[in-house]
Structure formats: C-alpha cells, structure tokens
Amino acid sequence: METKVPPFVLCIGSDRWLRERAVAQIKSRCVAEGFEETDFVRFSELPDETSSLKEAVQTGPFGSPIRLVVVDRIEALTADTIPWLAAYLSNPHPKSCLMLCVDKAEASAIPAELARAGRTQVILCTPLKGRELEQWVAQRAQETGKPIEPRAVTLMITRVGSSLQALALAIENLNLLASDRPMITVQDIESQIGPSLQETAFDILDSAAAGEPARAAEALRQAMEIGKLPMDQFMGALGWYYRMLWNVRTGKETMGWASPRRKAALARTRQWSKEKLQRNMAHLLQADLRFKQGHPHPELLADQLLLQLSG
C-alpha cells in the first residue's frame, strides 16, 4: 500500500464525482482493508465545534499506515474556518491525514510556507466544461467498455447536464442497454434519455427564430401544460438566446458549434440590425418585469416574445 501522503489534502471544487474519486484514491493509500471503521472518519459537514475534528485528526491509526479524516461540503475555507488548522499543520500527527472538500478556498487559509514544505496537496474538483467535458464523457464511456459516437457525446451532455455523477450513471445504463452494439449511438440516447428542459426551450426558440412562430407557440404551450418548461425558465432561456444572437451578430461568437437547424435560425436573425436586437432585448426585460409583477395571462407575453424573435 502506498502510504506517502501529506498531512493535509485540500479538494477544491463542487463536482461530487471528482470529489468521491479523490477521496477513494487517498483512502486507498492510507487505510488498510478491514480497518475502515476505525481508521477512516468522515464528517458530512464541518462540525459546529471543530474540537471534535481536531480530536479525530490527532488520533493515530489502529491498523492502517495512516488515519484518514475527511470533511465534506465546506462552502468556503478561510483562515477563520478552522482556527487551529495552521498551528496543527506546523506540527501534524505523523500518521494522520486531514482531507477537506471545499467549494472554494482563500489563499490565506493555508500559510504559504506550509504548502512549500510539502504538507499540503491540492486536488482540483471543479466542474468540467466545453471540450474538457466532452473528452471526459468519451473517455469514461471507453473505460466502461463501450465507446460513444462523437455526436452522441454532445447530445448526452445536452440532455443529462454537466454533472459527472449523472453522466457516469447515464453511461453505465446506456452501456448495458446497448450491449449488443459496438458503441453508444445518438439513437440510443434519443430513445433512453428524454429531452432536457434546456433542450426543449432551445428547440422552441430555434423554431421561432427560423420563422415558425405558430409551431414554437404550440410547442411552448404543450411544454408549459405538462410542467416541463415554467415561464420563468422560458424567460431565462430567451435571455440567453438573445445574448447568443448578439455575440454572433457582433462577431464575438461563431456558429461552428451549432446544429444545422440552429445555424439556419441564426443565419436568418444575423441579418437583423443591432438596433432591432437591442429593441427585442428591451421588450424581453419589460415582459419579464410584467410577469414578475403578476401578469394575468403570461402565455400572451410568451406569444408576443416568440413573434418578436421570429422577426
């Protein structure tokens, strides 16, 4: 068993899957099989009285090379979060490791000289985005035993989201369901994973931007009736859509990433003047305010916004 671990490990980032993998890796280097109950201590959150945490980390292992003490879900680590931490790390227990999982940490929380002395290991667990996220999905599918089509990667992220935990579960399920095929395909995802709220909203907005307001309005009514697309989330999606149109119109963003249907919709609206885009965005802000103030017929506001988007 590899036992060379520092007395303090800091996991920074909110992704649960990456955190769990980091904890498992450190645990495998510290805790001997059969001694999990005595030599692996895990707090679901930082205790109000951190003296109990200090006692746990100052206790030596019973049958393992290193005793591991983990604290989950700390929103922010500052110099005041665990007042005794810096003093403890200046003279840590030689056979104990403290592991904190935090969303963010201030530089002042850990004195620089202790970090330079090799007493701190930092593991980044920040959510993946863009190309990194796509590569993770493709690699995870390969590791699970079945590769995934490139187009299916994009669709899976759209429908499942960016949570690695949710994506890992979806990959495992699809792997089982596609057991008789060489890889996970777009058809597998379309048949097994329903459209996400985001995908539903953008499909509706693509229809409107493509000059099909009636089709967009009907799809929106159906989505609202079954509770799949609340009005406030439709407003938020439309706000994002207009920002995307503005970035495309001003050259800050290209259309290389877009689907053929969205490219067609964006090409149509790309001919709009900046003034028209600004007017439509202003109308959206006004409609959003009227909705929040209790407009009696929010569906009419939605129809008007879709008509404006259709040009």
pLDDT tens per residue across span 150-188: 888 988 887 788 889 889 998 998 888 877 788 899 888
- If you classify domain 197-310 with CATH, what class do you get? mainly alpha
Q: With beta carbons less than 8 A apart as the criterion, state whether 161 and 196 touch.
A: yes
What average pLDDT is seen over the chain? Answer: 86
pLDDT tens readout for residues 233-250? 888 888 888 888 887 777
Segments making up each domain of the chain, as ranges: 8-124, 130-192, 197-310
Percent of the chain predicted with pLDDT > 70? 93
Give CB contacts under 8 A, 24+ apart, made by 215-221. 216/306, 216/309, 216/310, 217/302, 217/303, 217/306, 220/302, 220/306, 221/299
Q: Does domain 130-192 have CATH number 1.20.1250.20?
A: no
pLDDT tens readout for residues 270-306? 777 888 888 888 989 998 888 888 888 888 888 899 8
Would you say residue 258 has pLDDT above 70? no
Query: What mean pLDDT comes out for the span 256-278?
Result: 74
| pLDDT classification of 309: cutoffs 50, 70, 90 | confident
The C-alpha torsion from 22 through 28 and 32 to 33, rounded to 10°, is: 100
**Distance between CA 69 and CA 7 in Å, rounded?**
10
Q: Does domain 8-124 have CATH number 3.40.50.300?
A: yes
Would you say residue 256 has pLDDT above 60? no
**Under 8 Å CB-to-CB from 205, ≥6 apart: which residues?**
216, 237, 238, 241, 265, 306, 309
pLDDT of residue 11: 93
Selection from 113, 104, 106, 306 nearest residue 204 by Cα = 306
pLDDT of residue 248: 75
pLDDT tens readout for residues 21-48? 999 999 999 999 999 999 999 999 999 8
Identical topology for domains 130-192 and 197-310: no
pLDDT tens readout for residues 57-76? 999 999 999 999 999 989 98
pLDDT of residue 196: 65
Q: What is the residue whose two structure tokens read 């993770």?
A: 136
Lookup: tokens for 53: 């945490």
pLDDT tens readout for residues 5-25? 899 999 999 899 999 999 999
pLDDT of residue 166: 87
Would you say residue 113 has pLDDT above 70? no
Selection from 187, 182, 112 nearest residue 152 by Cα = 187
Selection from 273, 271, 304 nearest residue 287 by Cα = 304
Q: What is the 3-state secondary structure (H, E, C) of the chain?
A: CCCCCCCEEEEECCCHHHHHHHHHHHHHHHCCCCCHHHHEEEECCCCCCCHHHHHHHCCCCCCCCCEEEEEEEEEEECCCCCCCHHHHHHCCCCCEEEEEEEEEECHHHCCHHHHHCCCEEEEECCCCCHHHHHHHHHHHHHHHCCCECHHHHHHHHHHHCCCHHHHHHHHHHHHHHCCCCCCECHHHHHHHCCCCHHHHHHHHHHHHHCCCHHHHHHHHHHHHHCCCCCHHHHHHHHHHHHHHHHHHHCCCCCCCCCCHHHHHHHHHHCCCCHHHHHHHHHHHHHHHHHHHCCCCCHHHHHHHHHHHHHC
